[in-house]
Chains A and B, each alone.
Chain A
Amino acid sequence: MRIFKIIPIIALLIVATSVKVNGQCKAFAKKECLPELENYTHDGNYHAAVLVEGEEAELYKTFYSDMEYRVAIVGDEKLPVIEFRILDTNKNVLYSNKDKDFAKTWDFKLQASQQLKLVIKVSSFNQPGDTPSSGCVAIMFGFKLKK
């Protein structure tokens, strides 16, 4: 009969442990990415995921002409550098952090409101046969009213 008492405990432990693993990006985002926004107000949105070396992610967002923005993109220390590019709707590259020594943040403002696309790529330094590393990547936006 004891076995029937143990099975639910096992199930509970498995669930609790997996929730802990999934929840790691939230803690990472708050600890590592949020401080990068400095004096900008964080918009409160959460964009974070576990990415693997070489993997790409995209983000679409509207930015408004009344605001000044800072985007912060931070990856787990286990990952190689994170590249990011900002594109307009015509796929013109407006900014690439590759030109700024892979800076984690970019400050910008707009003359007219625009929908922009962010392309985030975890660069890759693994050799054939190596295990690609994985880790959290967080993207956060801060804003303040234009002066």
Chain B
Amino acid sequence: MNRKHRISSGILTVFVLVLMLLVGCKGGKKPPQEEIPVKLPEDNAEILKDIKQAEKIFQALPSPIESAMLVKSAGGRFDESLLNPVGNVNTYVTVKSMALNLGAYTCDLSFASLYEQTQLIIDYMNAAKKMADGLGILKAIEESTIDELEANINNSEYIMDVVSETFLNSNSYLEDNGQPAVAAMVLVGGWIEGLYISTQLVDMNEFDGNKLVGRIIDQKLSIDILINLLAKSKGNPAVDELLSQVAKLKIVFDKIKLTTSAVRPEYDQATNTTVLKSEVKTDMTPAVFKELAATVTEIRNSFVK
């Protein structure tokens, strides 16, 4: 009996070693002659057809960092009362609430960083860490990162790099570990938070010609991207709920007129940059703006409690 166990264990050990070697070889760099030959049909047409069908589509929402930068560039002021209070962290216990608030806190962290709110930067980094840890995202934000942040608190460029890297760590972990629904919810949380803050900062007495209103109208260009991003995880109850909320937002965005002329690329040799020239016509009435602001607030309040 013991001998049987020893034999079984031996076979299993060999099996594990062979399996690890096979899987490990997949990503390693080896000279071509060492590669295991794979027999393929002479005609690659079928393979190429399969490849074509497996086409990958990325839906890229503006990141929380980009959203915050847009508000600042449009002249938006900093208002701490508009951020999700860090005291709320312990109330988020579901995957959905932690994912959405990881996005929201990263957006708030980006605002605090751009407006050089030193104490808030640390507080919001800790809040984002708590969400990332709760979602099981390994090494997204380490204690050492927060220590280094404190040591470089007056170096705004360094801080933005850290915020960008920690966000990259979170969403790459989720994508690479088969959690696209959670990754999508993080992005949506950040986008909603940015849109909420922008709409709250608009002074209705200075509505016409307001640059911030222009940036809010631009978000109409991303609403289909957001819906397509979530639709990839349709069937996930949390995502389905979000999709129905976002559908209300799309109804309001559809009331905004936005027409763009043909785009003409012009290369500027001096700066080695291409300028995409085009004209845009937009029209959003104050009534539609108020409806948009109310809908965004309703969605935001459903997860920032």
Contacts and interface: CB of A to CB of B under 8 A. Distances in A.
Same complex origin of A and B:
yes
Nearest to A141: B60
Contact of B278 (A67, A111, A132): A111
A56 B276 contact: no
Given A13-B16, A109-B275, 18 more contacts: A3-B12, A6-B13, A7-B12, A10-B15, A21-B23, A26-B173, A45-B168, A56-B55, A62-B222, A64-B218, A92-B262, A94-B265, A112-B278, A112-B280, A115-B221, A126-B44, A128-B43, A131-B38
Interface in B268-283: 271-280
Contact of B56 (A7, A14, A44, A57): A57
A107 B218 contact: no
25 contacts: A17-B19, A19-B177, A22-B178, A23-B176, A24-B27, A26-B172, A26-B173, A41-B164, A42-B161, A43-B62, A44-B64, A44-B171, A46-B171, A47-B58, A60-B59, A60-B228, A61-B60, A65-B218, A67-B73, A92-B263, A95-B274, A114-B260, A132-B44, A132-B47, A145-B69
A60 B147 CA distance: 37
B305 to A, nearest CB: 25
B177 A108 contact: no
Contact of A22 (B57, B176, B187): B176
A54 B53 CA distance: 12
Interface residues of A, number: 74
Interface string A104-128: 0011111111110000000000101
Interface centre among B73, B168, B177, B272, by most A CB within 10 Å? B168
A60 B225 contact: yes
Interface string A18-33: 1111111110011000
A123 to B, nearest CB: 13
B63 interface: yes
Give the contact-size bracket for chain B. Answer: 35 or more
Contacts of B222: 62, 115
Contacts of B59: 59-60
B52 interface: yes
A143 B63 CA distance: 11
Contacts of A18: 23
B273 A107 contact: yes
A68 B271 CA distance: 11
A45 B26 contact: no
Interface of A: 1-3, 6-7, 9-10, 13-14, 17-26, 29-30, 41-49, 51-52, 54-62, 64-68, 78, 88-90, 92, 94-95, 106-115, 126, 128-132, 139, 141, 143, 145-146
B149 to A, nearest CB: 15
Contacts of A88: 262-263
B40 interface: yes
A109 B16 contact: no
B31 to A, nearest CB: 12
B60 A49 contact: no
Give the interface centre of B13, B24, B175 by most chain A CB atoms within 10 Å: B175
Nearest first, the 9 A-B pairs at minimum CB distance are A44-B167, A112-B280, A61-B60, A26-B172, A59-B58, A57-B56, A46-B172, A43-B63, A113-B218
Contacts of B20: 13, 17
A74 B52 CA distance: 20
Contacts of A25: 172, 176
A19 B27 CA distance: 12
Nearest to A13: B16
